[in-house]
Amino acid sequence: LLSSLFTVSAIAQQQPAAPKSARLTPRISVINAGFNGTITVFQSTAGPIVVDCADPSSAPAVQALIRAIDQRTPTGVILTHYHSDHVGAAATLAAGSTVFAHETCFASFKKQNPAGYESLSKVARLAPQTADDGKLDMGEDSIRLIHPTHAHSSGDTVVVFEKEKVIAAGDLFFNGVPPYIDVADGANTQLWADAIDRIAQQYPGFKVVPGHGPVTDTEGWKQFASYLRALRQGVAEAIKAGQTREQAQASVNLEQFTSIKDYGNMLTRKANIGWVYDELTKK
Ligand SMILES: [Zn+2]
């Protein structure tokens, strides 16, 4: 668990880019803080809804960008999962709001970062979600929250803005880089890829905001699911052939996915192979 925390904060610290905001649809804007996180802002009739909160170091810059989009205090903040680069700035950005996340996400957040969880619960109302498929009614708008049980973590939420034709995928999507896979928290690459294909099939042509990387559409997201499937299949074959973790890292070939580029020491094919090896051999 310590190593997983270290990994996530190492990812967050790797690229301290100045956050930038861009309008995606008339009512949805995306704030990109590089590898410190992606934040989606939806201007619902009931007030702004913010998806994810970046890491703590980005809090002032991200808050200024949210206020420039909409001066009202966010009505709701949705956390896609508990990693520090998604919840770190929550105590600042979600002050005075209601925070929606799956109950498993809140549990992992509390366990991994008790102080951060405590500060958030002092300034915001926490609204744990228990259903695998839920809806939030915000004024005249309805937002769909999908919880794919085990994917990138065990408490992920995918947010669908049906009228706007936009999906905020959280870390079910790393666009352009190999993903972080939180095996210690119960990540499951099979259910992850299945969830992507299922949601993409239900919402063809929707724009997809990744947890990391540039905005694309459901076709781009499905390519990422193909990468996860090839990764899992390659590692399963290596295990079947009796290979060790290191041998699998040397033998499994994922070079056909040319649009996915290794990034730093953490977000690499080699790391992915190791994590999936751990996932498939976990007792
Ligand atoms: Zn994550």
Cα 69 to middle of ligand 1, angstroms: 25
> How much is the pLDDT for 16?
56
Cα 212 to middle of ligand 1, angstroms: 9
- In the chain, what percentage of residues exceed pLDDT 70? 93
Give the C-alpha distances (Å, rounded to integers) separating 171 from 177, 247, 252: 12, 28, 23
Which pTM does this prediction carry? 0.93
DSSP code string of 226-251:
HHHHHHHHHHHHHHHTT--HHHHHHH
How much is the mean pLDDT over the chain? Answer: 93
Can you tell me the distance from the alpha carbon of 12 to that of 55, in angstroms, rounded to the nearest whole number? 7
185-206: pLDDT as tens digits:
999 999 999 999 999 999 999 9
Q: Cβ(48)–Cβ(74) under 8 Å?
A: yes
Can you tell me the distance from the alpha carbon of 190 to that of 167, in angstroms, rounded to the nearest whole number? 20
> How much is the pLDDT for 33?
81
Can you tell me the distance from the alpha carbon of 193 to that of 179, in angstroms, rounded to the nearest whole number? 12
Could you list which residues have their CB under 5 Å from ion ligand 1? Answer: 83, 171
> How much is the pLDDT for 127?
98
Q: Rounded mean pLDDT of 111-120?
A: 96
The pLDDT confidence band at residue 283, using thresholds 50, 70 and 90, is confident
> How much is the pLDDT for 17?
67
**Nearest residue to 15 (alpha-carbon basis) of 182, 273, 213:** 213
| Position with higher pLDDT, 51 vs 57 | 51
The pLDDT confidence band at residue 34, using thresholds 50, 70 and 90, is confident
120-149: pLDDT as tens digits:
999 999 999 999 999 999 999 999 999 999
Q: Rounded mean pLDDT of 213-234?
A: 97
Cα 67 to middle of ligand 1, angstroms: 25
Q: According to DSSP H, which parts of the chain are helical?
A: 2-14, 59-69, 84-87, 90-93, 103-112, 114-123, 189-202, 218-240, 245-251, 269-281
- Rg (alpha carbons) of the chain, rounded to whole number: 18
Cα 279 to middle of ligand 1, angstroms: 16
Judged against a pLDDT cut of 50, whether residue 5 lies above it is answered with no
Cα 123 to middle of ligand 1, angstroms: 23
What tokens does 270 get?
A: 């080699």
> How much is the pLDDT for 8?
52
> How much is the pLDDT for 18?
85
